[in-house]
């Protein structure tokens, strides 16, 4: 199986590139943000509890996220692999993911980390907010809080996979197809 973590700050292009990668490699897209938004639109209990964290740009507690991912992995037995998008966002989530996958006998293949500077990210997110209506993409203060949370909680996740020799940094600026080519080159060189 090909299990990829697509890593990077909010607005790095993880969702856009995931959509292209799943088609190219026939993978399952596992975006925790999308799963939460689905729960919110269906007004589930999990959605209601996640919404208050998401609206402020804070992280949903680890146990909630991990439980949701474990269930999704368990319920997707016949896949060629996963693209994890927006997960893991803390070292505790990374350790839990390693455990879930090792129980499945299918470890993380690699982490692809999209590199984009903060000025460009803010610009992209505010543009996305106008089109998507996502409340967490419309307020510069909330976006800045997401960057702060990312730096504090999520950046160490890259070191976790670097230690395992699985981290690949990819330049995340340029047109969508150019970035996609950089990603596929890194994947094809590894598998
Ligand atoms: P995203 O769509 O990945 O930008 O996620 C939107 C929001 O959902 C984040 O700002 C968090 O509030 C929440 N979220 C998504 N994934 C996670 C995660 N792995 N851990 C904690 N919170 C998450």
Task: Indicate if 182 belongs to the active site.
Answer: no
Q: Is 52 a catalytic residue?
A: no
DSSP character at residue 92: H
Q: Pick from 86, 141, 148, 157 the residue to mutate for probing ligand 1's pocket: most ligand atoms within 8 Å of its CB.
A: 86
Cβ(47)–Cβ(36) under 8 Å? yes
Q: What is the β-pairing status of strands 110-115 and 82-85?
A: unpaired
Domains with residue ranges and CATH for the chain: 4-182 (3.40.50.300)
Adjacent-strand bridge partners of 169: 113
Kindly name the residue from 37, 51, 134, 162 that is annotated as catalytic: 134
Q: Tokens at residue 69, please? A: 């991912």
Under DSSP, is residue 116 helix (H, G, I), strand (E, B) or coil? coil
pLDDT per residue of the chain (191 residues) written in tens, 0 to 9: 999 999 999 999 999 999 999 999 999 999 999 999 999 999 999 999 999 999 989 999 999 999 999 999 999 999 999 999 999 999 999 999 999 999 888 999 999 999 999 999 999 999 999 998 888 898 999 999 999 999 999 999 999 999 999 999 999 999 999 999 999 999 999 98
Closest listed residue to residue 122, CA positions, set 32, 178, 169, 57: 57
What phi, psi does 159 have (nearest 5°)? -65, -35
Whether ligand 1 lies within 6 angstroms of the CB of 149 is answered as no
124 part of the active site = no
Distance CA 129, CA 121 (A): 12
Q: Is 136 in the pocket of ligand 1 (CB under 6 A)?
A: yes
pTM, whole model, 2 decimals? 0.96
Map residue 53 onto helix, strand or coil: helix
Hey, whose CA ends up nearest to atom 5 of ligand 1? Answer: 33
- What's the gap in Å between 35 CA and the centre of ligand 1? 9
Cα(36)–Cα(41) distance, integer angstroms: 9
CA distance linking residue 87 with residue 94, whole number of Å: 8
């Amino acid at each position: 199986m090909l299990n990829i973590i697509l890593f990077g700050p909010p607005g790095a292009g993880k969702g856009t590139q995931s959509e292209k990668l799943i088609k190219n490699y026939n993978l399952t897209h596992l975006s925790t943000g999308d799963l939460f938004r689905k729960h919110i639109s269906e007004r589930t209990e999990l959605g209601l509890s996640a919404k208050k964290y998401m609206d402020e740009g804070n992280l949903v507690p680890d146990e909630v996220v991990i439980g949701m991912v474990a269930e999704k992995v368990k319920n997707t037995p016949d896949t060629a692999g996963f693209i994890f998008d927006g997960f893991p966002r803390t070292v505790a989530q990374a350790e839990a993911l390693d455990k879930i996958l090792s129980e499945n006998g299918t470890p993380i293949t690699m982490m692809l980390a999209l590199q984009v500077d903060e000025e460009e990210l803010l610009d992209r997110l505010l543009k996305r907010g106008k089109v998507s209506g996502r409340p967490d993409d419309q307020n510069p203060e909330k976006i800045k809080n997401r960057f702060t949370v990312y730096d504090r909680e999520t950046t160490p996740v890259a070191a976790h996979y670097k230690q395992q020799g699985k981290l690949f940094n990819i330049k995340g600026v340029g047109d969508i197809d150019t970035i996609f080519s950089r990603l596929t080159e890194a994947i094809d060189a590894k598998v």
